[in-house]
Amino acid sequence: MSGLRASLAFGLAGALVATIVFAQGSYKQHKEQIELTRWSIQSERKAAVANNLQLSEQESKSFWPLYDDYRAAMGKVGERTIKLITGYADAYTKNNLSNDQALQMVNDYLSIETDKLKVKKRYLKRFQDVLPPKKLARFFQIDNKMDAFINATIAKEVPLVE
């Protein structure tokens, strides 16, 4: 999986989103920079999938449009994650996170995680229609490894609740 190791930039870009909002302010203030970072992450992610999945020409014709739809659906959930992080960053930097806000953030986080799983399950059958089982498993391994790397990188940047 050397292609995944070569995609460190995309993980670092994920951490940049958290770093931007904690160091400099709100999502609205830095929306353009955050959106550019998200675009970079998606480009790197797609390159890592292409480098590691090794699709035939026929598989590619069916897979890539479906992949783009899948990432768009995951992107909608990802937008909620960014809003959660930026909301937390705002409260954290102002040192005014209430107990109610903290509980709401936990509930929002769990809802986001549930929705990520729903998207993956919804697309599983569609991916099964275009990929043989081993490539399907490999795709989800690649996808999960990239998610884990991004999550670990962001977690490193987001301070604990005080």
Q: How far apart are CA 116 and CA 133, in angstroms?
A: 21
Residues 6+ apart with CB under 8 A from 48: 3, 4, 6, 7, 10, 142, 146
Asked whether 119 and 77 are in contact (CB, 8 A), the reply is yes
Asked whether 51 and 3 are in contact (CB, 8 A), the reply is yes
Average pLDDT, the chain: 83
The pLDDT of 12-39, averaged and rounded, is 62
Residue 155 is predicted with a pLDDT of 80
The pLDDT of 83-99, averaged and rounded, is 87
Confidence of residue 39 (pLDDT cuts 50, 70, 90): confident
The pLDDT of 17-39, averaged and rounded, is 63
Confidence of residue 89 (pLDDT cuts 50, 70, 90): confident
By C-alpha distance, which of 159, 157, 155 is closest to 147?
Answer: 155
Residue 16 is predicted with a pLDDT of 55
By C-alpha distance, which of 61, 57, 21, 53 is closest to 136?
Answer: 53
Q: What is the pLDDT of residues 127-159, one digit of tens each?
A: 999 999 999 999 999 999 988 888 887 787 788
> What is the chain's Cα-based Rg?
17
Handedness of CA 45, 50, 52, 55 (dihedral sign): positive
Q: How many CB atoms lie within 10 A of CB 91?
A: 16
